[in-house]
Amino acid sequence: MSHSHEQHGHGDHPEHLGHHWDNLQQQFEAGKLGMWLFLATEVLLFGGLFVAYAVWRGNNPELYAYGSEYLDVTMGAVNTVILILSSLTMAMAVTYAQLNRQKALLVCLILTFLGACGFMLIKFFEYSDKIQEGILPGAAFYDPPPNLEASNYWNPDLPIIDRHTLLALRIEAAEREREGRPAQIDRPRFGEVSSVAPAAVGPAGFDPDAVRARHVRGEKSKVHPLQDPNRPVNAHMFFNIYFMMTGLHGIHVLVGMIVIGWLIYRAALGHFGSDYFTPVDLGGLYWHIVDLIWIFLFPLFYLI
């Protein structure tokens, strides 16, 4: 702020008012409009990924039914609750700033920060589980898991599929279809019909009914996907988009933690009050969008 002060002569400017504004109200409204625009760009940034999700899910519904089996619904649900609560404390922080209640403001900000930490901690456990088990995006999905020897995890009868084998499988499936030979197994029967060549030609076929039945019973797949005879072709694709979307979201949570940390620091110095709370308000808006995105991610990946 000091920068803009030396450049104009008016002594009657309030402390936080930039030199090009008439009054605090105008400045506040501009800041808010700017923040909403920024949130719009965030929505579009994630929007690209949501579109990708929709396209791939439309093309390969069975992969999503299968892949979500491997996510931990409990951890996801706990994280959802944590984020919603932290949104609440953030909203309370804004109110307390407006009411000039310094102590309550500080407490609420710290609670929000702790919520963010909790979220990242659980996310860390989720990710490290996946990495341990070798459930990774892309071609790495088909590498034997690192703890293979120790747990005797690996079923040597199943072929290790690399990307070239996969391609060959796909071409074979397409040829089968063109020649009118029956595909190895039926197309997925999840309501939608895949629009690409039969995706459900796993090494040993794929039984959507079994998956659905497990879903209904609430059982979790115990076997590693590479050991699973029911694994559909391209099962890794679910984890591509899962890691991309939750990863980008995680980065946003980290940025949110930096922002909240900075707000805590300034709140502790007593910078905010009923006449100046713009940063708390804008930081809050950002935190809510991070939250909101997760509220979409959770059902899309863990539940359906």
List contacts with other proteins (CB under 8 A): 3-4, 7-8, 18-20, 22, 26, 29-30, 33-34, 37-38, 40-42, 44-49, 51-52, 55-56, 59-60, 137-140, 163-164, 166-167, 170, 199, 233-234, 236-237, 240-241, 243-244, 248
Q: Measured from the CB of residue 171, what is the shortest distance to other proteins in angstroms?
A: 10
Q: Identify the burial level of 227 via C-beta atoms within 10 angstroms of its C-beta, where 0-12 means exposed, 13-18 middle and 19 or more buried.
A: middle
Q: Measured from the CB of residue 123, what is the shortest distance to other proteins in angstroms?
A: 18
Q: Output 164 or 217, the one with its CB closest to other proteins.
A: 164
The backbone region for 192, taken as left when phi is positive above 0, alpha when psi lies in -120 to 50, beta otherwise, is beta
- CA–CA gap between residue 111 and residue 117 (Å, rounded): 10
Q: Output 40 or 81, the one with its CB closest to other proteins.
A: 40
- CA–CA gap between residue 180 and residue 185 (Å, rounded): 13
Q: Output 52 or 114, the one with its CB closest to other proteins.
A: 52
SS3 state of residue 282:
helix
Q: Which residues are registered as beta bridge partners of 190? A: 192
Q: Identify the burial level of 202 via C-beta atoms within 10 angstroms of its C-beta, where 0-12 means exposed, 13-18 middle and 19 or more buried.
A: buried
Q: Output 20 or 215, the one with its CB closest to other proteins.
A: 20
**CB of 32 closer than 8 Å to CB of 170:** no
Q: Output 43 or 210, the one with its CB closest to other proteins.
A: 43
Q: Measured from the CB of residue 179, what is the shortest distance to other proteins in angstroms?
A: 21
Q: Measured from the CB of residue 131, what is the shortest distance to other proteins in angstroms?
A: 13
Q: Measured from the CB of residue 247, what is the shortest distance to other proteins in angstroms?
A: 9
